[in-house]
Amino acid sequence: MTVAKLSITNLQAGYGDVQVLWDISLEVNPGEIVCLIGSNGAGKSTLLRCISGLVAATSGHVVVDGKDMTNASEAGVVSAGIAHVPEGRRLFSAMSVHDNLLMGAYLRKDKAQIAEDLDLVYSMFPVLAERRRQDAGTMSGGEQQMCAIGRGLMARPSLLLIDELSLGLAPRAVELLFERLRQINKGGVAILLVEQDVMDALALADRAYVVNRGRVSMSGESKVLAADPAIQEAFMGLA
C-alpha cells in the first residue's frame, strides 16, 4: 500500500471563535494532482494555511508521509517537502526576483544543488532569468506568479500547494502556468491546487474535492466531477 503524501482527517480550524473548517478529510497521493474547488469564503485558503502551519488546527490530523504533522511549524512543514504558493503570491516586492527565489531555499544548506535548482527554475521560466535583478513588485502579475511558483520549487518540494493560480491573470499567462504545472508534476511533484477556473483545474487534476462552507461536499475523479450537472451549474456557468 502506498503511503499518502498528505492525509488529512476530520480537520477543524478557524480564526479565534469563528470556526471555518468542519471535519475536513482528504488525501493527496505521491505524484498526484488534486484540485480544491469551492465558492468564495468556503475555506480553501484556510485549509492550505492549516496544512502549512499558518493556521492552527483545533482538532483532526494532518499527516505527511505517514508522520503526524498537525500544528507543525512552518519550517517543519517545508522540511517535510511541502511548499505553499499563497493566494496573492506574497513576494517580497522590494527584493529582486533572484533574492525572492533564494528565499524559497532558506532552510537548505546544499549550495551546489540550490544553484542547480535555480538554473532549473530559470530554464522553466526564462523571463525570470531575464529579469533576475528586477524588483519582484515591478513585474507583471503573470511574472510574479511564475516567481512565486519558482520560489516554491526552490524548497525542492514533493508536494506543492498552490492557492489561486490564475487569479487576475491574462489567458495566455494562465495557459503557460498550467503547462508548467504539468511539467512540474511530470518531474514527480504532487500538487494540491486551489483554482477559480474550475474547468481548467479539473482538466489538469486527477481528483478533486469540493469545499462548501468549510466542509467537503463532493469528491472524486476530476473527469467524473467535470461531467456532474451540479458542478457544471455551480462553477462553470453551465446549466
Ligand X SMILES: Nc1ncnc2c1ncn2[C@@H]1O[C@H](COP(=O)(O)OP(=O)(O)OP(=O)(O)O)[C@@H](O)[C@H]1O
In sequence order, the 6+-apart residues with CB closer than 8 A to the CB of 5 are 28, 29, 30, 32, 64, 65, 81, 158, 159, 190
Task: Give 66's DSSP letter.
Answer: T
Residue 186 grid cell? 511530470
* Shortest Å distance, C-beta 54 to Mg ion: 13
CB of 156 to ligand X, least distance (A): 26
Q: How far is the CB of 108 from ligand X (least distance, A)?
A: 29
Q: Please report, as residue ranges, which positions from 26 to 85 form the binding site for ligand X (by CB under 6 A).
A: 38, 40-46
The Cα angle at residue 20 between residues 17 and 21, in degrees rounded to 5:
125
From Mg ion, ligand X, none, which one binds at residue 222 (CB under 5 to 8 Å depending on kind)? none
Phi-psi region of 31 (alpha: psi -120 to 50; beta: other; left: phi over 0): left
Which one of Mg ion, ligand X, none interacts with residue 41, CB within 5 to 8 A by kind? Answer: ligand X
CB of 127 to ligand X, least distance (A): 26
Alpha carbons 36 and 226: distance in angstroms, whole number: 13
Beta pairing partners, 26: 8
Please work out the total of residues on this chain that contact ligand X, with binding judged by CB under 6 A: 12
State in angstroms the smallest separation of the CB of 145 from Mg ion. Answer: 15
Partner that binds at residue 74, options ligand X, Mg ion, none, CB closer than 5 to 8 Å by kind: none
CB-wise, 2 or 40, nearer to Mg ion? 40
Instruction: Return the number of the residue (154 or 208) whose C-beta is nearest ligand X.
Output: 208
DSSP secondary structure code for residue 214 in this structure: T
Q: Which residues bind ligand X (CB under 6 A)?
A: 15, 18, 20, 38, 40-46, 87
